[in-house]
Structure formats: C-alpha cells, structure tokens
C-alpha cells in the first residue's frame, strides 16, 4: 500500500512551507484545512448541517459559512465548538479517504494542523512529520504574516499541543529555525527518506 505521511506543527511553524516543497518534489498533498474551507464555502457539503445546527445567522447570503460569526461563537462557547467539529470532522475524514483512494505518484502527505489535539488521525498515518521551532519564532512569523496582536498569537499557541508533546509523537522532526533555503534543504533530505520508504 502507498505510504501515508502526516504533517503537523503549531501555528506559524512552517507546515505550508514544508508541504509546498514536498509538493514540488512530487508528493501528493492532502490538506485538511483546505478541505474544511471547501466544505464551508458556497455550495459546500457542510452548509445545510451548519444552518440546521446554528441557525440562519451562521450562513451568509451567498451561502457560505459566516466565518466571523462562527469564530466568535465557538471561541466563547466550547459546546458549540464541539458541535461544529462533529459536523466537520467526519466530512473531512471522508474527503481525505476519497483523495487517498485516488492514489499517489510517490507517497501521500496529509497536512493536519491539530493532529495531536484531535484524536483519530494517527491510525491513518504510517509516519508523522512535525515541523518545530521555538514559540517566539512562531509568534514573530504569525505577527508578520497575519498582522495579529502578539496576545492573540500566544492565546492560539497556548490552546495547541506543546512542542514536547508533538516532538515525542514524531517519526521525523523538521527544525524550522533557520532561513527558507535552510528549510528547503532539510525538506529535501526528508523527501529522500520518504521516497525510499515508499518504495519498500
Ligand atoms: P499555520 O498553522 O498558521 O497555517 P504554517 O505552519 O502553515 O502556519 P507557514 O505558513 O508555512 O506556517 O509559515 C508561517 C509564516 O512564516 C509564513 O509567512 C512563511 O512564509 C514564514 N516562514 C516559514 N518558515 C520560514 C523560514 N524558515 N524563514 C522565514 N520565513 C519563514
């Protein structure tokens, strides 16, 4: 069977940078954030359930999920967060399975930001890659990229698994502490390992 690699890491750790490079090298990427987004877009498969569970104000006139409304709602109310996850999670899993069934040229990389926070992903993965860097570097990158206040970035990080939990659960750790060329080099080395494993 084809090799399935899980890719995870904290906010701003560099998951997208790593998966972009692996894609260039020929890996087949399955991105669960992208899937969640398409499920909640206009015409998305989760919209009817979301309207039923959270009411009309959860859906914009164009038929997409009202992201600002839902973000605020689940932030204040953990039960609502669980309710939204119960709608999305099985549909995300189903779409991942559908994409896995399409086959890969070399191997699959499934990007799951909250792989260690939400149960059930591990059993799908042959290997887990964690992108890791110090928290201050995550904070700096997300401020740069999103323009968020530092307190908001740190609040997200505090709600995610710790670096220790993630690196303990990893088969491969990419230390993303240098510049982008350095990261690319590390990803290229990882790719060689994964290619060898995929061919076994
Ligand atoms: P999120 O969980 O928020 O989606 P992520 O883990 O996918 O984040 P990236 O988007 O890959 O992280 O990286 C965060 C930001 O930091 C991006 O703007 C990216 O270009 C930049 N970045 C990542 N790694 C490096 C690096 N080694 N040197 C410089 N900038 C970097």
**What is residue 163's predicted lDDT score, i.e. its pLDDT?**
97
**What is residue 133's predicted lDDT score, i.e. its pLDDT?**
98
**What is residue 49's predicted lDDT score, i.e. its pLDDT?**
98
Domain ranges of the chain: 1-27+106-200, 35-103
The finding on whether 1 has its CB within 6 A of some atom of ligand 1 is no
**What is residue 18's predicted lDDT score, i.e. its pLDDT?**
98
What's the rounded Cα separation, in Å, for the pair 56 and 170? 42
Distance from residue 48's CA to the centre of ligand 1 (Å): 33
Distance from residue 105's CA to the centre of ligand 1 (Å): 26
Q: What is the pLDDT confidence band of residue 100, given thresholds at 50, 70 and 90?
A: very high
Distance from residue 12's CA to the centre of ligand 1 (Å): 5
ipTM of the prediction greater than 0.95, yes or no: yes
For 29-64, how does the pLDDT look when each residue is reduced to its tens digit (9 = 90+)? 999 999 999 999 999 999 999 999 999 999 999 999
Overall pTM surpassing 0.90 (yes/no): yes
Residue 52, classed as helix, strand or coil, is helix
**What is residue 24's predicted lDDT score, i.e. its pLDDT?**
98
The finding on whether 52 has its CB within 6 A of some atom of ligand 1 is no
The finding on whether 184 has its CB within 6 A of some atom of ligand 1 is no
Q: Which residue, judged by its Cα, is nearest atom 24 of ligand 1?
A: 14
Which ligand 1 atom minimizes the distance to the CA of 113? 2
Out of 3.40.50.300, 3.40.640.10, 1.20.1640.10, 3.40.50.2300, the CATH code matching 1-27+106-200 is: 3.40.50.300
The finding on whether 141 has its CB within 6 A of some atom of ligand 1 is yes
Distance from residue 32's CA to the centre of ligand 1 (Å): 17
Q: What single string gives the DSSP state of each residue in the chain?
A: ---EEEEEESTTSSHHHHHHHHHHTT-EEEEHHHHHHHHTSTT-TTHHHHHHHH-GGGB-TTSSB-HHHHHHHHHH-HHHHHHHHHHHHHHHHHHHHHHHHT--SS-EEEE-TTTTTSTTSGGG-SEEEEEE--HHHHHHHHHHHH---HHHHHHHHHTSPPHHHHHHT-SEEEE--S-HHHHHHHHHHHHHHHHHHHH-
Is the separation of the CB atoms in 102 and 131 below 8 Å?
no
């Amino acid at each position: 069977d084809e090799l399935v690699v899980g890719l995870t890491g904290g906010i701003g750790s560099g998951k997208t940078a790593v998966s972009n490079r692996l894609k260039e090298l020929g890996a087949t990427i399955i991105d669960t954030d992208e899937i969640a987004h398409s499920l909640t877009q206009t015409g998305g498969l989760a919209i009817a359930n979301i309207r039923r569970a959270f009411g009309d104000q959860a859906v914009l006139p164009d038929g997409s999920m009202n992201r600002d409304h839902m973000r605020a709602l689940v932030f204040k109310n953990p039960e609502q967060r669980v309710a939204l996850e119960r709608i999305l999670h099985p549909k995300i899993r189903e779409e991942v399975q559908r994409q896995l069934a399409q086959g890969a040229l070399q191997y699959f990389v499934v990007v799951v930001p909250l792989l260690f926070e939400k149960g059930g992903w591990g059993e799908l993965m042959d290997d887990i890659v964690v992108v890791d860097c110090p928290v201050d570097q995550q904070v700096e990158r997300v401020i740069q990229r999103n323009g968020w206040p530092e307190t908001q970035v740190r609040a997200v990080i505090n709600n995610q698994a710790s670096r220790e939990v993630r690196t303990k659960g990893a088969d491969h750790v990419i230390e993303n502490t240098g510049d982008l060329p350095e990261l690319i080099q590390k990803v290229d080395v990882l790719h060689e390992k994964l290619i060898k494993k995929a061919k076994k």
